[in-house]
């Protein structure tokens, strides 16, 4: 049986891709952000996952405002990177694992999550940046299953629904007959707003409470409606739904392997966490 070895979450500000391409990781602006990943990379070297199931939001690459699935699961043999104009170098395709994708899809539909199935799916910075941050060297060592949650076009799925989606994905992984070691990744957040009168809005107290709640009380954020979460975290801060889904997928109680929180990167509160089941 496959084994869930933990959950990783990180912000995915596109400027990170530029910093990686320029080799600016040790510049004063970037160091507190990139150094946060070092202990997690050491942990990943020990636990050695084979597969990453990655919750993310598409930023207009696959789905635009005319057609917007609430939940979409990739079931492709490989995923090509094409970004939406941030100027990050395009990376070679990432390898999929369609058999596991279909197993997850079948379990989700059985549990009444009516997902869109994508036998082709392009990937943007929300998928490539976490993979590059956690595995910066060489070819990515994990096969991926991208799971997309709409945070772009209202109505959005509730926090409660995203936690439940994560739980169902976790059950699917744990019932997969393969022997893979699976890491779950949540890409997005934390508090940020890119446009409008609140552009640059960051809510550090809320972010820190939210990060703590993922360890001690995963349901905490489900008390808030989507408009309340947008008010507390910004229009793009709602990407924290990926963190909730990730926590939902990791079974039982968890321990924090490492966490980092640094503000700002671009307009965004850059958070990162690694959790493992205890
Ligand atoms: C930024 C953050 C995002 O999550 C994103 O998708 C695009 C830009 C930013 O802070 O610049
Ligand atoms: Fe984003």
| pLDDT value at residue 154 | 96
In ligand 1, which atom is closest to the CA atom of 57?
Answer: 6
Any atom of ligand 1 within 6 Å of the Cβ of 266: yes
Burial of 172-190, coded b for 16+ CB within 10 Å and e otherwise, reads bbeebebebbbbbbbbbbb
Residue 63 has pLDDT above 90, yes or no: yes
Q: Which one of the listed residues 103, 125, 258, 262 is annotated catalytic?
A: 125
Any atom of ligand 1 within 6 Å of the Cβ of 199: no
What would the mean pLDDT of 64-78 be, rounded to a whole number? 97
125 is catalytic: yes
CA of 126 to the centre of ligand 1 (A): 9
For the chain, the domains span 3-277
103 is catalytic: no
With contact defined as beta carbons under 8 Å apart, do 218 and 244 qualify? yes
- % of residues, the chain, pLDDT over 70: 100
Any atom of ligand 1 within 6 Å of the Cβ of 14: yes
The superfamily (CATH) of domain 3-277 is: LigB-like (3.40.830.10)
| pLDDT value at residue 106 | 98
Q: What is the pLDDT of residues 145-201, one digit of tens each?
A: 999 999 999 999 999 999 999 999 999 999 999 999 999 999 999 999 999 999 999
Any atom of ligand 1 within 6 Å of the Cβ of 13: yes
With contact defined as beta carbons under 8 Å apart, do 135 and 211 qualify? no
Residue nearest to atom 2 of ligand 1 (CA): 13
Q: What is the pLDDT of residues 74-100, one digit of tens each?
A: 999 999 999 778 889 999 999 999 999
Nearest Cα neighbor of 148 from 171, 123, 173, 172 is 123
In ligand 1, which atom is closest to the CA atom of 192?
Answer: 10
Mutation pick for ligand 1 pocket among 18, 30, 194, 235 (CB with most ligand atoms within 8 Å): 194
| pLDDT value at residue 72 | 98
Vertex 35, ends 271 and 205: CA angle to 5°? 25
């Amino acid at each position: 049986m496959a084994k869930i070895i933990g959950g990783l979450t990180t912000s995915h500000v596109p400027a990170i891709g530029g910093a990686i391409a320029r080799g600016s990781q040790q510049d004063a602006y970037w160091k507190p952000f990139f150094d946060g990943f070092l202990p997690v990379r050491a942990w990943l070297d020990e636990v050695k996952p084979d597969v990453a199931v990655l919750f993310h939001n598409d930023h207009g690459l696959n789905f635009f405002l005319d057609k917007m699935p609430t939940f979409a699961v990739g079931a492709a043999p490989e995923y090509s990177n094409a970004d939406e104009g941030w100027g990050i170098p395009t990376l070679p395709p990432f390898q999929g694992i369609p058999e596991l994708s279909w197993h997850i899809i079948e379990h989700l539909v059985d549990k009444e999550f009516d997902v869109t199935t994508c036998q082709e799916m392009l990937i943007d910075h929300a998928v490539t940046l976490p993979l590059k941050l956690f595995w910066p060297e060489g070819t990515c060592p994990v096969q991926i299953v991208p799971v997309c949650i709409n945070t772009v076009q209202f109505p959005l799925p509730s926090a409660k629904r995203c936690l439940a989606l994560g739980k169902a994905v976790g059950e699917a992984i744990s019932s997969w007959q393969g022997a893979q070691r699976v890491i779950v990744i949540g890409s997005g957040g934390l508090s940020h707003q890119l446009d409008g009168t609140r552009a640059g809005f960051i809510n550090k107290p809320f972010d820190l409470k939210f990060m703590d709640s993922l360890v001690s009380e995963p349901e905490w954020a489900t008390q808030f409606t989507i408009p309340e979460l947008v008010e507390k975290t910004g229009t793009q801060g709602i990407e924290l739904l990926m963190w909730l889904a990730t926590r939902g997928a990791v079974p039982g109680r968890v321990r924090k392997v490492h966490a980092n929180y640094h503000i700002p990167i671009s307009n965004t509160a850059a958070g990162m966490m690694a959790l493992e089941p205890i």
